[in-house]
Amino acid sequence: MRQLDASNNDPQKNGLTRELALTGYRRMLRIRWFEEEAMRRATAGEFSGMHSSSGQEAAIVGACLALRDDDYITGTHRSHGHPIGKGADLKPLMAELYGKSTGICKGRGGSMHLADRRVGIIGESAIVGGGIPLATGAGLSIQVRGTDQVSLCFFGDGAANQGTFGESLNLAAIWKLPVIFFCENNLYAISTSVARSHGQPDIARRAAGFNMPGVIVDGQDLGQVHGVTAEAVQRARSGEGPTLIEAKTYRFEEHCHNLQVPIAYRGAEELEHYKSQRDPLQLHRALLLKDAVTEIAIASIEQEVAAEVAEAVRFARESPLPDPQDVYEYLFSQPIHYPPEAVP
Amino acid sequence: MNSLQSVGKPRELTYLNAIVEAQREEMLRDERVILIGENIDIYGGSSLFDTFDEKRLRNVPISENSFTGMGVGAALTGLRPIVDLTIASFVYLASDQIINQAAKLRYMTGGQLSVPIVFRACTYYNICNAAQHSDRPYPFFMNVPGLKIVAPATPRDMKGLLKAAVRDDDPVLVFEDSNLWTKKEPVPDDPDFLVPIGKADVKRIGSDITLVSIAGCLPRVMLAADALQADGISAEVIDLRTLVPLDGETLLTSLAKTGRVVIADNSHRVGSVASEVSAVLSEEGFQYLRAPVRRVTTPAVQIPYSAALERPLYPNKERIVAAAKSLLQQDRAR
């Protein structure tokens, strides 16, 4: 098990070129502003709740930047970040939140399931741990078909306590499947802390039990996450098998929009510390400036992202709702349904 | 191919060998087809190892939920896996991936994903295996939209339906019945022989009463039809074969002719396949009914170990005949 520290922050070493660093900033910002706008729209009653990834952007984008367009990803109920981090168009994602027919899932999936197949996503599972076997199966498929793709599985600290975690890591280890098990450890499964729910709070240490490498990485550091993931991707592509990566990160919002948690499960100071000192966007922005990227260049990215988010909302609002008569559509590959029952 | 087949006389095949032959043919035809299961090198697929290697025959550890989900993930990414869950009681361990992933992913992604996968599960009942190895869990999965379910009762149907399931673009559960393993009948060896999913089979034409057989009940239903015939009662026998989508048309056509229905189902009575067939016939065929629909099922009790306790629980010739006769008597009494 390796644990990376501040000495691993060299962007060059992490393979983070200037261009990738800028793309990374743009994608993190797209996630942050998409979700902040979505939270405002949800609060205004335009659609129902959502799970925000705010605070976890560097973990998501750092991992996605290490992947190719033809690689596979599975994600979680906190599903907005993964497609956006992989470069998806915002309009169908926002339209899905509004339950519109132009939504990425035609209004059948919603906020917990923003799977965009065009960027390689093969499921955003709201059954905690449910996506881990799927990603493992994509790895099996790659091996059988003999391509050099990889499969990356996003899951949370909560999922590490599901049976599928141990089962799937074992399956991937047996056959050296090209899978990257990527844990976004945001420290809380809703209100239950890792400290209260894990015998071994360093999830990556569990890799040893499956005879695969485990790495702990600072999930607020885009370059570090990218470097570690790129290394795991390289191992997977060259047939050396799976890697377990644990990105220590933090969730800025509540587990879910509109969820009132009646207990103080995390302290105000802790939250404030992460928001003020450990915000991945602020940290990365500072690094860009240090790397002689100009304020003007950054501001130009920010303007573009703001316009993109505004355009996504406009598109979503103006899109038509799905027709209730079409509710059986996409149930089967051919239009059959059972029992033959009229739509009320 | 031997000379017998070339003159149109198909060789006999057991139900068990029909399963192996269907898999072998589909694996030869389509390199995307793989087999995933526990101990497949000893049991179900052993002879397949003569033809295929471990790339496509994946012998897995005892991790039903994850190797089932692994099959789903492979189906999402270009393969057409067959997942052998062996004993049907183990399907519960895999049910999260079957229900929450396989059945839902096409729908909840608005058709972006396709899940062409076959889940095989064998029912092992009436052989003193007690409650945790004897389940016939077909009706559970009928309550899950997005799954197709077949339960073939003859070697011919097993081969044709299993092959059709492999070629289908949706998840298909194929329930086998270990009590039928040694049954033999002529089975076509045409590699493109298929039995369509969604079509019931009229096994015997009759006019007084319809006997609907579900899954492995068929041999007992046929015995019951013989016994009724000996008493001058003409029974039409329908083997349902596919549970989802249900072939309502064949059922209603038969009901319109006979006006009376007995449904034989090995699953537990409450929420059984028979319950669903009964509901469909009552709602859509009420005008044809000359007597109430009668279900002959397994009582809602756990399967006990002792043969003395277990044997009488399943639908048998006597119970089916008695149910049929009671309907005919009710009808006369009206």
Q: B53, B57, B66, B97: best mutation site toward chain A, by most A Cβ within 10 Å?
A: B66
Distance between B32 CA and the closest CA of chain A, angstroms: 8
pLDDT higher than threshold 90 for residue B165: yes
Q: Which amino acid is it at A139?
A: G
CB contact under 8 A, A105 and B101: no
- For residue A92, CA distances in Å to A109, A213, B110, B325 come to 12, 37, 12, 61
Distance between B267 CA and the closest CA of chain A, angstroms: 20
Whether B229 contacts chain A with CB within 8 A: no
The whole-number pLDDT of residue A338 equals 58
The whole-number pLDDT of residue A262 equals 76
Which string of b and e fits A283-311 if b means at least 16 CB within 10 Å?
Answer: bbbebbeeeebeeeebeebbeebeebbee
The whole-number pLDDT of residue A198 equals 95
CB contact under 8 A, A134 and B56: no
Reported ipTM: the value is 0.96
Nearest CA to A151 out of A89, A66, A76, A88 is that of: A66
CB-based contacts of B334, cutoff 8 Å, min separation 6:
B290
Residue A183's φ and ψ, nearest 5 degrees, are: -90, 120
Beta strands in chain A (DSSP E): 2-3, 72-76, 121-125, 151-156, 179-185, 188-189, 192-193, 214-218, 243-248
The whole-number pLDDT of residue A339 equals 58
pLDDT higher than threshold 50 for residue B5: no
- Chain B residues closer than 8 Å to A108 by CB: 107-110
pLDDT per position as a tens digit, B47-77 = 898 899 999 999 999 999 999 999 999 999 9
Q: B30, B32, B77: best mutation site toward chain A, by most A Cβ within 10 Å?
A: B77
CB contact under 8 A, A117 and B111: no
Nearest CB to A113 within list B34, B108, B148: B108
Tell me how far apart the alpha carbons of residues B309 and B248 are, in angstroms, rounded to a whole number.
35
Helix, strand counts (H, E) of chain B: 12, 14
- For residue A316, CA distances in Å to A38, A91, A322 come to 11, 7, 12
Tell me how far apart the alpha carbons of residues B197 and B139 are, in angstroms, rounded to a whole number.
17
Contact B192, B166 (CB under 8 A): no
Question: Looking at the annotation, which residues of B are catalytic?
Answer: 133
CB-based contacts of A260, cutoff 8 Å, min separation 6:
none
Tell me how far apart the alpha carbons of residues A87 and A74 are, in angstroms, rounded to a whole number.
15
Nearest CB to B69 within list A72, A108, A133: A133
Show the CA angle centred on residue B141, arms to residues B36 and B39, nearest 5°. Answer: 20
Query: CA B54, B57, B58, B59 torsion: positive or negative?
Result: negative
Q: How would DSSP label each residue in B268-307?
A: ESTT-HHHHHHHHHHHHSGGG-SS--EEEEE-SSPPPSSH
- Establish how many alpha carbons lie within 13 A of residue A107's alpha carbon, considering only the half-sphere containing its beta carbon: 17
Q: Is the peptide bond before B245 cis (omega within 30 degrees of 0)?
A: yes
Tell me how far apart the alpha carbons of residues B119 and B101 are, in angstroms, rounded to a whole number.
13
- Chain A residues closer than 8 Å to B72 by CB: 133-134, 137
Whether B113 contacts chain A with CB within 8 A: yes
- Taking the alpha carbons at both ends of chain A, their separation in whole angstroms is 57
Contact B237, B213 (CB under 8 A): yes
CB contact under 8 A, B245 and A338: yes
Whether A178 contacts chain B with CB within 8 A: no
- Taking the alpha carbons at both ends of chain B, their separation in whole angstroms is 59
Counting Cβ atoms within 10 Å, is residue A38 exposed (0-12), middle (13-18) or buried (19+)?
A: buried
CB contact under 8 A, A115 and B112: yes
Residue A321's φ and ψ, nearest 5 degrees, are: -75, 155
Kindly list the averaged pLDDT for each block of 10 residues, start to end, along chain A of length 344.
Answer: 78 83 98 97 93 96 97 97 98 98 98 97 96 98 98 97 98 98 96 93 97 98 97 98 98 86 88 97 96 94 98 98 94 77 64
Q: Which of residues 125-184 of B touch A (CB under 8 A)?
A: 145-146, 148, 168-170
The model's confidence at residue B99, banded by pLDDT at 50, 70 and 90, is very high
Nearest CB to A135 within list B61, B68, B73: B73
Distance between A209 CA and the closest CA of chain B, angstroms: 16
pLDDT per position as a tens digit, A92-142 = 999 999 999 999 999 999 999 999 999 999 999 999 999 999 999 999 999
The whole-number pLDDT of residue B334 equals 58
Whether A242 contacts chain B with CB within 8 A: no
Nearest CA to A42 out of A137, A124, A110, A134 is that of: A110
Contact A250, A220 (CB under 8 A): yes
pLDDT per position as a tens digit, B114-137 = 999 999 999 999 999 999 999 999
Contact B236, B258 (CB under 8 A): yes
Tell me how far apart the alpha carbons of residues B104 and B115 are, in angstroms, rounded to a whole number.
9
Residue B68's φ and ψ, nearest 5 degrees, are: -70, -45
Nearest CB to B70 within list A103, A133, A336: A133
Tell me how far apart the alpha carbons of residues A129 and B58 are, in angstroms, rounded to a whole number.
23
pLDDT higher than threshold 50 for residue B250: yes
The whole-number pLDDT of residue B3 equals 41
Whether A290 contacts chain B with CB within 8 A: no
Residue A185's φ and ψ, nearest 5 degrees, are: -85, 100
pLDDT higher than threshold 70 for residue B331: no
Q: How would DSSP label each residue in A76-126?
A: ESS-SHHHHHTT--HHHHHHHHTT-TTSTTTTSS-GGG---GGGTEEEEES
Q: A73, A121, A144, A152: best mutation site toward chain B, by most B Cβ within 10 Å?
A: A144
Neighbours of B253 (CB within 10 A): 17
Q: How would DSSP label each residue in B200-227?
A: -EEEE--SSEEEEE-GGGHHHHHHHHHH
Average pLDDT, chain B: 94
- Chain B residues closer than 8 Å to A323 by CB: none
Q: A102, A121, A140: best mutation site toward chain B, by most B Cβ within 10 Å?
A: A140
Whether A93 contacts chain B with CB within 8 A: no
pLDDT higher than threshold 90 for residue B42: no
Question: What percent of chain B has a predicted confidence (pLDDT) above 70?
Answer: 95
**Structure tokens belonging to residue A343:** 């739509």
pLDDT per position as a tens digit, B182-209 = 999 999 999 999 999 999 999 999 999 9
- For residue A328, CA distances in Å to A19, A283, A319, B114 come to 45, 47, 20, 16
Beta bridge partners of A215: A2, A245
CB contact under 8 A, B69 and A141: no
For each of the domains in chain A, give its residue range(s) and CATH number, in order of start. Answer: 2-254+265-320 (3.40.50.970)
For each of the domains in chain B, give its residue range(s) and CATH number, in order of start. Answer: 11-186 (3.40.50.970), 201-333 (3.40.50.920)
**Structure tokens belonging to residue A318:** 């103006």
- Chain A residues closer than 8 Å to B61 by CB: 167, 170-171, 174
Q: Mutual orientation of helices A295-318 and A90-97 as an angle, nearest 10°? A: 50
- Chain A residues closer than 8 Å to B96 by CB: 127, 130
